[in-house]
Structure 1
Amino acid sequence: MRGIYIHIPFCHQICHYCDFNKVFFENQPVDEYIETIDKELTILKQSGTDFTKVETVFFGGGTPTALSAKQLDRLLEIVHSHVSVMNLTEFSTEANPDELTLDKLNVLKNGQVKRLSLGVQSFDEDLLKKIGRSHSPKQAIDVVNNARRTGFENISIDLIYALPGQTQAQWQNTLDQALALELPHYSGYSLIIEPKTVFYNLMNKGRLPLPGEDEETVMFSELINQMEKSGRSQYEISNFAIPGRESIHNMIYWENDEYAGIGAGAHGYLGGVRYANIAPLKRYMEHVETGDLPIIEKNTVTPNESMEEEMFLGLRKTEGVSIKHFAEKFGVTLEEKYGAVIQDLIKKDLVERHENRIRLTRNGIFKGNEAFQQFLG
């Protein structure tokens, strides 16, 4: 197990595009939930899971910074009781710009958190309101400055393009303001309309004016070009960093390695099994109280499925999939397993061979899903 993901499902405001497991903060058993995280980690350790090789811990949500400073401090205390935090390569948390107060920044810093991932999404005030975000562009800039003053250097911000009614000019302005912060890491995602979201309901009613596919492609192209000009290398389809500042926790996912998912609705991959935790808060907490892991769904990954995952996850990285590593890991060469598929994708200019690796071409980066699907049985 290389990483631990801890899910904090609480939000003070629900974004219109979010389909993650989350609940409104008010009137929720937040303190009890934090203690349940402690119990789940204890059960996992007692089940024989090795915590000594953990490289990363990541707080996601929901919104981890919806917690009070005192609650964050308790959560960090719990992590320290289970993991050798000083030996971690990376300790990260997601955060909302309007919730990350100086008190919380100091708690995180004192708790040895090293990396902040800020959900900025846009620097356009009107678009932020349209997508249900509660912060302003100024608050996003202020929290970056406050984080730096507190001693945080490894800061990332998330941006979303192809938003309802978004113009190329608005996207360019967001990129300009984001890059003016000179951060080591940026993530840029195209809006995906997921079921059971506000945007999904609006789309079904014909009330969601989304940019067309061509406009979305132009926005993605501009994202890549601007990041390259600023010295932020595209190391994964949606992620850009100064060399050495890549997200190590996310690399665990893309490298098809194992990690624990802790908390209500969290997903994990341990012992060759992909699993999902019970999502409803009360049921999750009640189940952990029985002394059992709160797993509701399991899938033992077959060797064939693991090879498929190695390809479609690994190809997300711009360095691609190592031909040598694939053979060592699975006891079969890439050529033997996927030779015909790879040859076909090369002809279509979607992948290429480069330095003992198979990777997406520039064209393939824009048509990734078309390439990934070819590896699925």
Structure 2
Amino acid sequence: MTDGLYIHIPFCHQICFYCDFNKVFFKNQPVDEYIDCLGKELMMMRGEGLFDHGGPLTIFIGGGTPTALEDRQLEKLFGHIRSAVPMDRLIEFSTEANPDELTPDKLAILWENGVRRLSIGVQSFDAGLLERLGRTHSPNDAERVVRQARETGFENISLDLMYGLPEQTMNQWEDTLDRALSLCLPHYSAYSLIVEPKTIFYNLMNKNMLPLPGEDLEAAMFERLMERMAQSGLQQYEISNFAKVGHESVHNKLYWQNRSYAGAGAGAHGYAGGIRYSNHGPLKKYMNAVGEGRRPVFEEHRVTASEEMEEEMFLGLRMTEGVRFDKFRERFGKELDDVYGPQIRELAGQELLTSDGESVRLTRKGIFLGNEVFQEFLG
């Protein structure tokens, strides 16, 4: 049994210049056949007991771009999900979406099939920066789709934003925050740009053609982000995520709480029965495996007890609530101080961690230096 289910749709009409996720251009791809393979994989998962005891708590459809699918393809996808996945326990059903692809008809299809949470990839409200990122929507598209989503019935809407972009100024970031917060949504995610290998930005950076803001400006943008979110009544419940009380992403919290989830689709990852696994990424390999009647798993790793404790720390510390002593004891049968006491004391001495006797968590200074903190808990 798993607590969450992630479903990967690897198709995009446009490849963003910063994206390193498993994706392909939509045109001339076997989209319908892929969706049918997804249905078969989900049925295999059901047969193996991954959806026992009422099914997952959360379902998240990501990509790629789920909203790149045509209307009938979305309907087909949801038909497969309904056939294979019990929804007795389901408390959150989410999908990612692009503003210029999320039409009123698609919104209606999502709503009619039980989706109640939208994660909309806006990234910026600056038209020039959107073009620089390889995005195809306009700032007005983002505001329009939020209005249409509300008219459809959606209330649980999140926007994804990015900062630290090529030649981005603080004024541009402030303007994006102004326009995003003026929509009065219950959830926002905001990430600094990370230049990943095998992306257009990576190739440009290697040619000295990617003028990024310096570390000081990026840190100032992050600080301004936290200030503006707090002023708008949004709590920072994870380093990059802000929400009104009761609107935190349940699915993403499963990851940070190191709980089990199934991953379906090309390149999807999962964590079940103490094993982390990844599916074949190339469509042909993924679809061939499913066509032969076997799970399309490319790689598996059984997580050792020490690795699981490490993950508990560097994932749990991403959340502002931190890692609880009682939860650590309950899960591992050991005291947190007995395992990581020296590291905790050292980092507390550097004012990067703090503890109130019930949990250990990042300080404000630690939030800015999170990766350095997490490194201390890796064997």
Q: Same fold (TM over 0.5)?
A: yes
Task: Write the deviation string for residues 28-83 of structure 1: whole angstroms up to 9, x where unpaired.
Answer: 00001000001001111222323424100000000000001111111111111122
Residue 31 of structure 2 aligns with an amino acid whose one-letter code is V
SS at match of 1:157: strand
Residue 22 of structure 1 aligns with an amino acid whose one-letter code is K
Residue 282 of structure 2 aligns with an amino acid whose one-letter code is P
**Residue of structure 2 in register with 1:217 after alignment:** 219
Alpha-carbon contact 1:159-1:188 (below 8 Å) kept: yes
**Residue of structure 1 in register with 2:244 after alignment:** 242
**Residue of structure 1 in register with 2:331 after alignment:** 329
Residue 15 of structure 1 aligns with an amino acid whose one-letter code is C
**Residue of structure 1 in register with 2:18 after alignment:** 17
SS at match of 2:376: helix
C-alpha distance in 2 between matches for 1:345 and 1:53: 40
C-alpha distance in 1 between matches for 2:269 and 2:348: 34
**Residue of structure 1 in register with 2:38 after alignment:** 37
Residue 263 of structure 2 aligns with an amino acid whose one-letter code is G
C-alpha distance in 2 between matches for 1:135 and 1:46: 41
The count of corresponding residues between Structure 1 and Structure 2 is 377
Deviation at 1:355? 5.2
SS at match of 2:211: coil
SS at match of 1:310: helix
C-alpha distance in 2 between matches for 1:340 and 1:227: 34
Q: 2:120 aligns with which of 112, 118, 123?
A: 118
SS at match of 1:276: strand
Alpha-carbon contact 1:85-1:112 (below 8 Å) kept: no
Residue 372 of structure 1 aligns with an amino acid whose one-letter code is F
Q: 1:62 aligns with which of 54, 60, 64?
A: 64
Task: Write the deviation string for residues 14-39 of structure 1: whole angstroms up to 9, x where unpaired.
Answer: 00000000000000000010000010
- Give the % identical residues: 60
**Residue of structure 2 in register with 1:152 after alignment:** 154
**Residue of structure 2 in register with 1:310 after alignment:** 312
SS at match of 1:234: strand
**Residue of structure 1 in register with 2:263 after alignment:** 261
Alpha-carbon contact 1:157-1:185 (below 8 Å) kept: yes
C-alpha distance in 1 between matches for 2:249 and 2:179: 22
Task: Write the deviation string for residues 193-220 of structure 1: whole angstroms up to 9, x where unpaired.
Answer: 0000000000000000000000000000
Alpha-carbon contact 2:261-2:271 (below 8 Å) kept: yes
CA 1:73 to 1:86, structure 2 compared with 1: closer, same or farther past 3 Å? Answer: farther
Alpha-carbon contact 2:42-2:85 (below 8 Å) kept: no
The 5 Å alignment of 1:82-121 reads 82-85=84-87, 87-121=89-123
Alpha-carbon contact 1:11-1:66 (below 8 Å) kept: yes
Alpha-carbon contact 1:123-1:174 (below 8 Å) kept: yes
C-alpha distance in 1 between matches for 2:107 and 2:177: 25
Deviation at 1:325? 0.5
Moved more, 347-356 or 90-99: 347-356
**Residue of structure 2 in register with 1:187 after alignment:** 189
C-alpha distance in 1 between matches for 2:107 and 2:35: 19
SS at match of 1:57: strand
The 5 Å alignment of 1:334-349 reads 334-349=336-351
TM value normalised by structure 2? 0.98
The 5 Å alignment of 1:354-365 reads 354=356, 356-365=358-367
SS at match of 1:182: coil
Task: Write the deviation string for residues 281-324 of structure 1: whole angstroms up to 9, x where unpaired.
Answer: 01100111111111111110000000000000000000000100
C-alpha distance in 2 between matches for 1:180 and 1:84: 38
Alpha-carbon contact 1:96-1:118 (below 8 Å) kept: yes
The 5 Å alignment of 1:124-135 reads 124-135=126-137
Gaps of 5+ in 2: none
Alpha-carbon contact 1:6-1:58 (below 8 Å) kept: yes
The 5 Å alignment of 1:364-375 reads 364-375=366-377
C-alpha distance in 1 between matches for 2:334 and 2:88: 38
Deviation at 1:353? 0.3
Alpha-carbon contact 2:280-2:297 (below 8 Å) kept: yes
